[in-house]
A and B are shown apart, each in its own frame.
Chain A
Amino acid sequence: QQQVKQSPQSLIVQKGGISIINCAYENTAFDYFPWYQQFPGKGPALLIAIRPDVSEKKEGRFTISFNKSAKQFSLHIMDSQPGDSATYFCAALGYNAGNMLTFGGGTRLMVKP
């Protein structure tokens, strides 16, 4: 059962544009929602994370929007740069559900110069 669904699978954005990646979850026990960035041949690196008691969190060009009632959250990358080209994974974790991360399927982002 895929508990975290991510879309789109791939995304092409022009330099300076906004990249938007969406995720939906099913398990209401989840209470921590991170986004990871992964470059080829590397392990995932934490980008930004949110807890369900806030609806939005911004760090630099990266913003998470969270909708608890809809069980959805999204990543917005403002002023997208070619260096942002990577695979992005949303994830979810429940402190009372084992502390393991459940990942979405990933979005391959390409930012064209």
Chain B
Amino acid sequence: DTGVSQDPRHKITKRGQNVTFRCDPISEHNRLYWYRQTLGQGPEFLTYFQNEAQLEKSRLLSDRFSAERPKGSFSTLEIQRTEQGDSAMYLCASNARDRGETQYFGPGTRLLVL
């Protein structure tokens, strides 16, 4: 097992386009989290899943954002009608509910909206 993976690592898009990111958590981790990190700031929580259920959503997650984890394994984060303010690093993390609190982060997807 090589850890949390995210794809793509970098994405450049034009304002108004839709983008989708994928996260593959560590095998058997039933919890999956999405965070957003802007330059020079700490990550901010967006949403989290336990298995396929989305249990918590931040007020940062506007209606242009949608996240899914259809089979309780990988997750996708879609941003519709991107805005320049969406430019950030999107981080995914995972952990197992019965194996402690540590959240293991992936390398992130860096989004630039032109």
A residues sitting closer than 8 Å to B (CB atoms) are: 4, 6, 32, 34, 36, 41-46, 49, 89, 91, 93, 95, 98-106
B105, CB-defined interface residue at 8 Å = yes
| Given contact pairs A42-B107, A99-B48, A100-B48, A106 touches B102 in the complex (Cβ within 8 A) | no
| Given contact pairs A43-B107, A44-B91, A104 touches B42 in the complex (Cβ within 8 A) | yes
Asked if A32 and B101 make an inter-chain contact with CB atoms under 8 angstroms apart, the answer reads yes
CA–CA, A56 and B52, complex, Å: 37
| Shortest Cβ gap from B85 to chain A (Å) | 19
Known: A34-B101, A43-B108, A106-B41. 7 other contacts (CB 8 A): A43-B105, A43-B106, A98-B45, A99-B31, A101-B33, A105-B42, A106-B42
B residues sitting closer than 8 Å to A (CB atoms) are: 4, 31, 33, 35, 40-45, 48, 55-56, 58, 91, 93, 101-108
| Shortest Cβ gap from A21 to chain B (Å) | 13
CA–CA, A32 and B48, complex, Å: 18
Instruction: Name the B residues within 8 Å of A36 (CB-CB).
Output: 105
Which residue of chain B has the shortest Cβ distance to A44 in the bound complex? B105
Instruction: Name the B residues within 8 Å of A100 (CB-CB).
Output: 33, 45, 48, 56, 58
Instruction: Name the B residues within 8 Å of A89 (CB-CB).
Output: 42-43
| Given contact pairs A98-B56, A100-B56, A44 touches B43 in the complex (Cβ within 8 A) | yes
Instruction: Name the contact of B101 in the complex, choosing from A93, A98, A103 (C-beta under 8 A).
Output: A93
